[in-house]
Structure 1
Amino acid sequence: MSATSLRTQPGNWDMSGATFVDAGINFCCFSRHATAVELLLFERADSPEPLAVIPLDPQVHRTFFFWHVLVEDLRDGIYYGWRIDGPVNTRETGSRFDRNKLLLDPWCTTVSDLLWERLAAARPGGNLATAMRSQAVRDAYDWEGDTPCHIPLADAVIYEMHVGGFTSHPSADTRWPGTFRAVIEKIPYLQELGITHVELLPVMAFDRQDVPPQTAALGLENYWGYSTHSFFAPHPHYACDPSNARDEFRDMVKALHQAGIGVILDVVFNHTAEGGADGPLINFKGMGNEVFYHLDFVDRSQYRDYTGCGNTLNCNHPLVTRYLIDCLIYWTHQMHVDGFRFDLASAMARGEDGRPEHHAPVLWSIELSPQLGRAHIIAEAWDAAGLYQVGDFPGFRWAEWNGHFRDVIRAFVRGDKGMVAQVATRMAGSSDLYQARGRLPSNSINFITCHDGFTLWDLVSYNHKHNVANGEGNRDGHNHNLSWNCGVEGPTDDPAILALRRRQTRNLVSLLMLSQGVPMLLAGDEVLRSKQGNNNTYCQNNELSWTDWRLVEDNQEMYSFWRGLIAFRRRHPTLRRNRFLTGRAAQPGGLADITWHGLRLHKPNFEDASAQVLAFTLAGATPDEEHLHVMMNMWDNDLQFEIPDLPPRQWYLAIDTAAHPALVEPSRQQAVSARQVAVSAHSVVVLEAR
C-alpha cells in the first residue's frame, strides 16, 4: 500500500490523537514550528517498514499549530507514528526536530514497544526498525454500569502496590503473573485485608530501558515505571495482549470497584522518559521541545532539571496544562479511576521561568475542574531541586504525602528522645500544617513506608542502605532513613532481636492506624516483606522487589494484626474525624475530644527533652462509640501509666503490641480494673471504654 492508494481528507484539528469517525481515522498532532510532517502507517507492531507514508501539506493539513489528516477506510488496530522536520538551531530556539526519527503520538491510547531500542532513538539517524509504534484501537468497551467508588478520603485506607510486582513471584500462583488480570485474581486477598483503595505505581506506558548504563549492563531495567512516555496509554507489559491493554486495565478497575475498592494512579507529570540533552527522541522532544520542557535561559539545548531525571515538564505552559488536564479527565471518565497521586508534584508548581507559583495554573485547573471534582488528588509535595511544600501546597482540596508524619513517627519509635510534642501533633492530624489554611485532617496522607525507601521489616532490620545490586556503587537511594536495626545489621537468628523487631513493626503500624488523617501502607508490609536493605529498588524487576506470597502463611500473626487494626479503625469513627481536635467536649459535661497525658494523667511532658512516653484519651465521636485510651512507651524499661476513671464505662484491653495476640476482638477483651496499666518497653497499649 502506498500513500497514493489511500484516500485522505484534510481532517480536523480539534481531535487530538487518532479518532475513529464515520469516514475513517482522523490523525492529529501538535507542532508549532514544524516545517514538514509525515504520517507513517504500519501493518503490525513489528513491521520494520511502513506500509504507507503520508506527507501533510501545510496549506491543507495545518490549522494553527495542529497538523491533521483523515485517512479513509483504515482498519481497526492499525499502527502509526509521525516524522517531523523543522529548525535545528537548538541552542537558540530549543527545537530538536529530527526528520529521521519516528515519533509516538502523545495522545495515543495504545502503544507497542516490541522493537524499541532506547539508544537508537538517542543517536543521529533513522530508527524506523527500532522505534515504538502508536496503535489506533476502536473503543467499544462495556462498563456494565460501573462507576468510580467515591469513597471519602477520610474513610480511606490506601494500599500502595506495583501491578507487576504484586503477582510476578511464582508463589503468587496466578494464571497471568505480573498483569492487570492477575490483580483481579488477588482481589479476595485485598478484601480480606480490608483496604479501601489501591494506589498503583505508574501504569501509564513507560520506558523499561531508562536506567543508567552501568545498571543496564547488569541486566536490570526500569521497574517502578517513573519514566512515562505515553500518558494516555496503559503500560503494554501489564497486559496479556498489549494491543488490548486499555480494556484489560478497565477489566481490573471494574473488578476492583465491584469489590468496593477504589483505584488511585501514581502519575508522573514532572518529567518524561526522554531524559536530558543526550536522551532519546520519543514524542515531545521531536514535536515541541521548547514548549513541553523547561530549558536553560541562555543555552536552550540544555534542560533545567528540577526532578533529577534529566528534564522537567513545562506544566504551566497553556498547551501542556491542557494536555495534562485532558489526560486526567480521560483516566477518570474513560478509565473510571478514582484519583491520582502526583509524583514530585512541586515541580508542577514551577512557572515557565522555573520559580514556584502559588497560583500555578495547572494545579488550580486540576483543583477546580468540575470534571475532576470527585477524583482524589494527592501530591508528593516536593521536588528534587529543594522545593518542599508539605503543608503549603497550592490549592485546598489537594491531599499531601505527609513526610513530616513519616519522619517523626519513625524517629519516636526507634527511640529518639524529646519527640512527644511532635508525635502528638502528627497523630492529631498535623493541624500545624493544615488548619490555618482551612484544610482538613484528610489533607494529610500518613505513611511510615512507601515504594521509595525501606520496607517496614527493613526499617527495623537495617541502619544503612544496601543498594550495591543497583550498579551505582551504593550512591543511590536515601541516607536519612531514621531506621534502627535493633542490634544487628540485617538478617539474624537471635530470638530476642527478632522479637523486638516484630514488636517495633507493630508499634509503627499502630501509631499509623491510630492517627487522624489518611493511612497508607506499602504492599507486602502486612506480611513483613524484605528487600534485603535495598531502599531504592527502582531497577529490580525480580524477587528482591516482588511480593512473596509464602509470607502470608509465614507471617500470619502480622497479617492478622494489620487486618485487625484496619477493622479497628473502621469501627471507630473517632479515628477518622474530618475536623481537627480541639481539646474541648462536644457537649457540656462530656469528655474532651482529646486529652494528652504522660505517665501521669494530664501531664504529657511536651517540654521534656528526654521524654519517650506519651498517652492520650480520645472521646468517641458518637454517644454509643467506645472512648479510647492510647499509651506509648518507647523507653527501654517497662512503665506504669495512670488511666482515667470514666464511670459508668469500664476499660477493656484492645491492643498490646508486646502481647500475643497483640490485638483482641471486643468479645474476647478483658476488663481493666486497676488505676494503672503496665506498658512494656517499646510497646503500645490501647484500651476501649464501654
Structure 2
Amino acid sequence: MLKANIESARRYRVQPGSRFPVGATVSPGGVNFCVFCRHATGMELRLYASTDSVEPFQIIPLVREENRTFYFWHVFVEDLPVHCCYTWRAHGPHGMPQMDDEAASRKELLDPNARAVSERFWDRQQASEAQGPSNACIRAIVTEPLETTYDSDVRTLDDAIIYELHVAGFTRHRSSNVRNPGTFAALIEKIPYLKELGVTHVELLPVMAFDEQDVPRTAAARGLTNYWGYSTHGFHSPHSGYCVEPARAPQEFRALIDAMHAAGIRVLLDVVFNHTAEAGVTGPVINFKVLANEIFYHVDPADAGRYRDYTGCGNTINCNHPLVSAFILRCLEYWVRDLGVDGFRFDLASVFTRGEGGALLSNPPLPWAIESSEVLSRVPLIAEAWDAGGLYHVGAFPGMAWAEWNGRYRDVIRRFVRGDPGLVGQVCTCMAGSADLYEADGRLPASSINFVTCHDGFTLLDLVSYDTKHNEANGEDNRDGTNDNLSWNCGVEGETQDRSIMRLRLSQARNFMAILLLSQGVPMILAGDESLRTQRGNNNAFCQDNELSWMDWRMSSDALAMSRFVREMIALRKRHASLRRRRFLTGRPAKGCSEPDVAWHGERLGEPPWHDPGARLVAFTLAGQSAEEAMLHIVLNMNDDARIVALPGLGSGSWHRIVDTWAESPLDIVPDKELARTERDTCRVEPRSVVVLESGAD
C-alpha cells in the first residue's frame, strides 16, 4: 500500500463497504471506513491528502440505502493510499444541547476508532462555538497495517515493582541527552536506566490521544497546556505529541513495548474511560457529542442541556450502556492484542459502577465484562476505586480479579512517618498487605497497589519539604489541588541550606521508600522520587509541561545517594520472597517452616503496642519462605528520640544491620551482610528511622 501521494484532481472510486470492522481498515484493494451514528439521515466522509492539507481532495456522501447497516455507516474507497487524513460529517438530528442540528452538521468529526490522529488544525475554543470553522478539528490518519505477534501469556503482579512515569516528562529535559525528547522513541533510550533501577513494570500516564489545549482559561492565558493527559479524544490512537511521525503512531508505540519486553519490563497504561475531552455543554465538539450523545454520555433526562458530571471534568461516560461497554472492551483488547500492552490502571474507575441516571449498580456489567474477556483476563487490571461524585470503593471494587490503588495505605503511612501517634496497628495492617480490605472476599496481597506518592500530589521530596501546597504557577490563586497532604516540612517550608534539616528530610524520604518496599502487596514508585525530584510544592502539576515536572538527569550527591538507596532496596525486596508473599500473613509457621511467618513486637519482644495511643514504634520478624532464605527483623521508630529494642534470639547466629535510614550513604543500606554491623540481643534505633536486620552466621 502506497503512502499518501495524492493529486488534488484525482477522485477515488467507492463501493458500499462493510460495517465490520469499525474505523479505517486497510486491505489490498483499498480502505474500508465505518462509523457509528444512530440518528444521522446522511453522512459525509472527507478525505485530505496529508496532515497539512487545508481542503479535502474528495468528499464522499453516504446514503442510507447503500451505506448504512443498522446504525453503522460505511464505505470502501478503492486504492486509497495510507497516511491520508479523514473526518466525518453527520447530517440530521443530533440531540446536542449546545448547538442546533444545522451547526452540528457542519462540524468535522474525529473517528472514535482512529488508529492515529493529527491535531494540526485543532482549536479547542473554535470547536466549542456553533459558528466556529468546521476545519478547526482533529483528523484521523489512515495507518498502514500493524505487524504484531500476540503474547497470550498470563501476566500477574505477584512480584511487580511498578514505576509510574510520564512519557514526555521523562526525557524532555535538556539533560536527558536523547535524540527525540518527549517521545516514545526517547523513552526507549532510557530503558537501561529502568533496568538498572530494578523496576519490573512501568505505568505510563495517559498515552491515548488527548487534548493538550484542555486547561482552564487562566492556565491557557499563561501558555500552559494539559500535561498529564487526562483528556482523551482518540481512544485507539497513541498520542501524536509523543510520536516522531504521527502517521506511524501505532508502529512507534509498539516499538516501545517490544523494547521494554526485550529488557524484561512490562508496560501498564493509565487509561481514562470515565470522561472525554468534549467536557460539558460549553466544551468542544470532537466526535461523540454528534455521533452518539445520549448513548455515550450521562445526560440529565430532566434537563437535556446538562451533562451529569461525576468526574469533575464536565461529562461522564455512560460506561454500562451495552454499546459503550462494547466500545471500551474492543479498545482495551486492541491495546493488548495489537499493541502489546501488559495491563491497565483505570482512572476514576468507580464511574464503572454507575448505571442509567448515574445510579450505583450492585452488579455493574462493565467491570465483570472486562475481567471476563478472553484477552483482558490475562493481564492485570488496577482500579482507582473512587470518583469525583462521592463513590469510594477501596476494598470493595466489584469483580474478582481487580487490584486497587490503596489510598488508605498512602494516608496511614504518610501520617505515621510525619510522626502522628497511635497508628502502629494500622501501619502493620497496611504493611501486611491490607488483609482487612481484601482477604474476606478471597482477594490476595497483590490486590493492594501500595503507594506513598503518585503523579497527583507532592513528590517524595516535597512531601518532606512542604506543609502546604504552592500551586500559584497554575494560575488559579492556589485554589486547585488538595489541601490535605498529610506532609511535614521538617521545620522549614521549602528549600533550605540548613544541613541538619536536609539530613532529616533525606532520612524521612528513605523511611517512606523503605516502608513501601518492605510491605506485602505491590509497591508503586513515582518516577523521579528515587532522585529527589521536586515540583517546588506544587501538588497539582497537571498543566506544567516544563522543568517543574520534567525529570532532571543532572543528579546532586544527595540525589545519587538516594538513587542508590532505592536501587538496593528494590534488590533487597527481590532477594526476599518473604516480602512478596502470595497469601496473607497468619502468625503461624508456613508448611515446612519452624518459625511463624510473622511475629509482632515493640521495644520488648512479643509486646506490640497495639493499644498505646502514643506509640510511634513497632517491630516485626518475617520468617523466610524456605530454609535457605534468611529471616528479617524490621523496626520502625518514628519517635523524636533513639530507642533500644530487643532482638529475637538466633542461637549461634547474629543479626546483620543491612538497612538504617538514619545513617548516611553508603551505610544507609549495606547489600553484603558480611560487611554489615552485627547485633545480638538488642539494637539501637535512631530517631525517625527504619532499621532492617537480616539473620546470618557470626
Judged with a 3 Å threshold, the aligned counterparts in structure 2 of structure 1 residues 140 and 427 are, in CA distance, closer, same or farther, namely closer
Q: Does 1:547 align with 2:551?
A: yes
d(CA) in 2 for partners of 1:321, 1:424 = 39
- Report what 1:292 is aligned to: 296
CA contact (8 A) 2:162 2:200 kept: yes
- Report what 1:651 is aligned to: 655
In structure 2, give the amino acid aligned to 1:295. V
In structure 2, give the amino acid aligned to 1:179. T
Q: How many Å apart are 1:8 and its aligned residue? A: 1.3
SS in 2 for 1:165: coil
Q: Does 1:275 align with 2:279?
A: yes
More displaced 10-residue stretch of structure 1: 117-126 or 643-652: 643-652
d(CA) in 2 for partners of 1:381, 1:94 = 38
Q: How many Å apart are 1:512 and its aligned residue? A: 0.2
CA contact (8 A) 1:111 1:135 kept: yes
Identify the match of residue 144 of structure 2 among 106, 116, 138.
Answer: 138
SS in 2 for 1:677: strand
d(CA) in 2 for partners of 1:501, 1:96 = 61
In structure 1, give the amino acid aligned to 2:553. W
Judged with a 3 Å threshold, the aligned counterparts in structure 2 of structure 1 residues 151 and 320 are, in CA distance, closer, same or farther, namely closer
Show structure 2 runs of 5+ residues with no match. 1-6
Q: How far does the alpha carbon of each residue in 1:439-476 deviate from its partner, in whole angstroms, 9 at most, with x for none?
A: 00000000000000000000000000000100111111
Judged with a 3 Å threshold, the aligned counterparts in structure 2 of structure 1 residues 195 and 4 are, in CA distance, closer, same or farther, namely closer
Q: Does 1:343 align with 2:359?
A: no
In structure 2, give the amino acid aligned to 1:129. N
Q: How many Å apart are 1:156 and its aligned residue? A: 0.4
Q: Does 1:674 align with 2:680?
A: yes
SS in 1 for 2:73: strand
- Report what 1:527 is aligned to: 531
Q: Does 1:13 align with 2:22?
A: no
- Report what 2:4 is aligned to: none
CA contact (8 A) 1:618 1:628 kept: yes
Q: Does 1:483 align with 2:511?
A: no
Q: How many residues end up aligned between the 2 structures?
A: 688
CA contact (8 A) 1:529 1:548 kept: yes
Q: How far does the alpha carbon of each residue in 1:650-674 deviate from its partner, in whole angstroms, 9 at most, with x for none?
A: 2111111111321101244335343
In structure 1, give the amino acid aligned to 2:597. D
Q: How many Å apart are 1:587 and its aligned residue? A: 4.6
Judged with a 3 Å threshold, the aligned counterparts in structure 2 of structure 1 residues 592 and 97 are, in CA distance, closer, same or farther, namely farther
The correspondence of residues 227-242 of structure 1 with structure 2, limited to 5 A, is 227-242=231-246
- Report what 2:644 is aligned to: 640
CA contact (8 A) 1:600 1:641 kept: yes
SS in 2 for 1:164: coil
CA contact (8 A) 1:100 1:126 kept: no
- Report what 1:222 is aligned to: 226
Identify the match of residue 84 of structure 1 among 90, 113, 133.
Answer: 90
d(CA) in 1 for partners of 2:691, 2:190 = 33
SS in 2 for 1:232: strand
d(CA) in 2 for partners of 1:630, 1:285 = 56
- Report what 2:606 is aligned to: 602
Identify the match of residue 113 of structure 2 among 93, 97, 107.
Answer: 107
Q: Structure 2-normalised TM-score?
A: 0.96
Q: Does 1:53 align with 2:55?
A: no
In structure 1, give the amino acid aligned to 2:92. G
Q: How many Å apart are 1:373 and its aligned residue? A: 1.9
Q: How many Å apart are 1:94 and its aligned residue? A: 12
In structure 2, give the amino acid aligned to 1:520. M
Judged with a 3 Å threshold, the aligned counterparts in structure 2 of structure 1 residues 483 and 115 are, in CA distance, closer, same or farther, namely same
CA contact (8 A) 2:657 2:679 kept: no
The correspondence of residues 26-41 of structure 1 with structure 2, limited to 5 A, is 26-41=32-47
CA contact (8 A) 2:107 2:135 kept: no
SS in 2 for 1:209: coil
SS in 2 for 1:689: strand
d(CA) in 1 for partners of 2:614, 2:428 = 15
d(CA) in 2 for partners of 1:588, 1:267 = 43
SS in 2 for 1:243: helix
- Report what 2:188 is aligned to: 184
Judged with a 3 Å threshold, the aligned counterparts in structure 2 of structure 1 residues 352 and 2 are, in CA distance, closer, same or farther, namely farther
Q: How far does the alpha carbon of each residue in 1:520-559 deviate from its partner, in whole angstroms, 9 at most, with x for none?
A: 0000000000000000000000000000000276511100
SS in 2 for 1:80: strand
CA contact (8 A) 2:656 2:673 kept: no
More displaced 10-residue stretch of structure 1: 562-571 or 472-481: 472-481
Identify the match of residue 64 of structure 1 among 66, 70, 73.
Answer: 70
d(CA) in 2 for partners of 1:85, 1:463 = 55
Judged with a 3 Å threshold, the aligned counterparts in structure 2 of structure 1 residues 367 and 576 are, in CA distance, closer, same or farther, namely same
Judged with a 3 Å threshold, the aligned counterparts in structure 2 of structure 1 residues 370 and 311 are, in CA distance, closer, same or farther, namely same
Show structure 1 runs of 5+ residues with no match. none
Judged with a 3 Å threshold, the aligned counterparts in structure 2 of structure 1 residues 191 and 110 are, in CA distance, closer, same or farther, namely same
Judged with a 3 Å threshold, the aligned counterparts in structure 2 of structure 1 residues 293 and 5 are, in CA distance, closer, same or farther, namely same
CA contact (8 A) 2:278 2:289 kept: yes
In structure 2, give the amino acid aligned to 1:681. P
The correspondence of residues 507-586 of structure 1 with structure 2, limited to 5 A, is 507-551=511-555, 555-586=559-590
Q: How many Å apart are 1:140 and its aligned residue? A: 4.2
Q: How many Å apart are 1:129 and its aligned residue? A: 3.3
Q: Does 1:406 align with 2:371?
A: no
In structure 1, give the amino acid aligned to 2:685. V
- Report what 1:369 is aligned to: 373
Q: How many Å apart are 1:21 and its aligned residue? A: 2.6
Q: How many Å apart are 1:198 and its aligned residue? A: 0.6
d(CA) in 2 for partners of 1:368, 1:149 = 16
The correspondence of residues 392-403 of structure 1 with structure 2, limited to 5 A, is 392-403=396-407
In structure 2, give the amino acid aligned to 1:615. A
CA contact (8 A) 2:94 2:290 kept: no
Q: How many Å apart are 1:217 and its aligned residue? A: 0.2
CA contact (8 A) 2:171 2:186 kept: yes
Alignment root-mean-square deviation, CA: 1.8
SS in 1 for 2:169: helix
In structure 1, give the amino acid aligned to 2:29. A
d(CA) in 1 for partners of 2:439, 2:101 = 45
Q: Structure 1-normalised TM-score?
A: 0.97
d(CA) in 2 for partners of 1:78, 1:553 = 51
CA contact (8 A) 1:94 1:290 kept: no
Judged with a 3 Å threshold, the aligned counterparts in structure 2 of structure 1 residues 175 and 250 are, in CA distance, closer, same or farther, namely same
Q: How far does the alpha carbon of each residue in 1:13-53 deviate from its partner, in whole angstroms, 9 at most, with x for none?
A: 12100011333111110011112211111111121211111
Q: How many Å apart are 1:115 and its aligned residue? A: 1.1
In structure 2, give the amino acid aligned to 1:66. F
- Report what 1:162 is aligned to: 166
In structure 1, give the amino acid aligned to 2:516. L
d(CA) in 2 for partners of 1:336, 1:556 = 33
Judged with a 3 Å threshold, the aligned counterparts in structure 2 of structure 1 residues 51 and 242 are, in CA distance, closer, same or farther, namely same
CA contact (8 A) 2:417 2:638 kept: yes
d(CA) in 1 for partners of 2:70, 2:8 = 28
- Report what 2:357 is aligned to: 353
Judged with a 3 Å threshold, the aligned counterparts in structure 2 of structure 1 residues 498 and 67 are, in CA distance, closer, same or farther, namely same
Q: How many Å apart are 1:146 and its aligned residue? A: 7.7
SS in 1 for 2:117: strand
d(CA) in 1 for partners of 2:592, 2:295 = 61
In structure 2, give the amino acid aligned to 1:359. N
d(CA) in 2 for partners of 1:459, 1:39 = 52
CA contact (8 A) 1:3 1:54 kept: no
In structure 2, give the amino acid aligned to 1:596. W
Identify the match of residue 254 of structure 1 among 258, 270, 274.
Answer: 258
SS in 2 for 1:99: helix
More displaced 10-residue stretch of structure 1: 123-132 or 263-272: 123-132
Q: Does 1:209 align with 2:203?
A: no
CA contact (8 A) 1:95 1:290 kept: no
Judged with a 3 Å threshold, the aligned counterparts in structure 2 of structure 1 residues 627 and 97 are, in CA distance, closer, same or farther, namely farther
SS in 2 for 1:413: helix
- Report what 2:3 is aligned to: none
Judged with a 3 Å threshold, the aligned counterparts in structure 2 of structure 1 residues 94 and 266 are, in CA distance, closer, same or farther, namely farther
